[in-house]
Amino acid sequence: MHILHLSSSVALPLIADARRDGVRIIVETCPHFLTLTVEEVPDGATEFTCCPPIREAANQDTLWQGLQEGTIDCVVSDRSPCTAELKTDDFGTAWGGISSLQLGLPAIWTAARVRGRELADVARWMSTAPAALAGLAGKGAIAPGLDADFVVLAPEETFTVGPAALHHRNRVTAYAGKTLHGVVRSTWLRGVQIADAGRPTPRAACWYAPERARRGAGARGPAPTWRPTGRARRERPRRCARRPDRTRPGWSAPRARGPPRS
């Protein structure tokens, strides 16, 4: 049995009892349930709308206890973006979802450090456990023989969330104005650096939509939709046709062609 997006701590004793009875249960929760509380939601702030809903601070404390005791196995993004128009002023009709992919790691680390937890705990909840759940044998840890997927994090540095700095196509966020610990310096996928100081690298451009490759990693303005294409969907690095891999042994510039024949 897989319980997803657990937000209510009322279920924790039932889960623990079922496991003692031999029921195989996997439980996950999300960053917003561990970092946001209903007490801090301003009137009419439908960017906090999600399904299931954000709950009280006391409920959140019990969720953290369940995570630390192992009743909850992992923390997943539950990324559910939408356009600003879908976040109507009515909580009953507003789109239920929060985009947590970019901010999930610093949000969880900010809350975890206050509760005396370490980065190793966060890595286990957000990487090791989800990889094991999905059966990804080459993921979830930094170890010989595994894929070199990792981030370089400055854990004691802080930043204030500003929607304009987000890479989401639709920059609607419940974290706006919050100060979070943990600045991601770079991101690596299978040993290839795909992000540096918050910007995609030229190598990363080869993984996404052709228009992103044409614009270049340092392009300004609204970010286009990044859609993995071809083999990138299967996480296999490939050379971009528009950006030859000059680091490959034996590479040389193509010879200039002469004028066309008449």
State residue 226's pLDDT score: 41
Q: What is the CATH number of the domain that holds 99?
A: 3.20.20.140
Give me the pLDDT at residue 182, please: 98
Asked if the structure places residue 107 within a domain, the reply is: yes
- Is the backbone of residue 70 left (phi > 0), alpha (psi -120 to 50) or beta? left
Domain extent at residue 120: 2-140
Is position 48 within any domain? yes
Q: Note the pLDDT tens digit of each residue in 97-143.
A: 898 889 999 999 999 999 999 999 999 999 999 999 999 999 999 99
Task: Provide the domain count of the chain.
Answer: 1
| Per-residue pLDDT, 207 | 56
Residues of the chain with pLDDT under 70: 205-262
Structural domain includes residue 74: yes
The CA-atom distances, in angstroms, between 107 and each of 36, 48, 69, 211, 216 are 9, 15, 20, 31, 29
pLDDT computed for residue 238 by the predictor? 45
Is residue 16 within 8 A of residue 71, CB to CB? The reply is: yes
Secondary element (H or E) of residue 205: helix 202-205
C-alpha–C-alpha distance, residues 6 and 4, integer Å = 6
Q: What is the pLDDT at residue 206?
A: 65
Q: Does residue 117 form part of some domain? A: yes
Given this model, what pLDDT does residue 230 score? 43
Of the candidates 97, 113, 117, which has an alpha carbon nearest to the alpha carbon of residue 5?
A: 97
| Domain presence at residue 75 | yes
Q: Which has the closest alpha carbon to 71: 8, 137, 132? A: 8
Q: Are 75 and 34 in contact (CB under 8 A)?
A: yes
Confidence at residue 138, expressed as pLDDT on a 0 to 100 scale = 93
Pairwise CA distance, residues 111 & 128, whole Å? 19
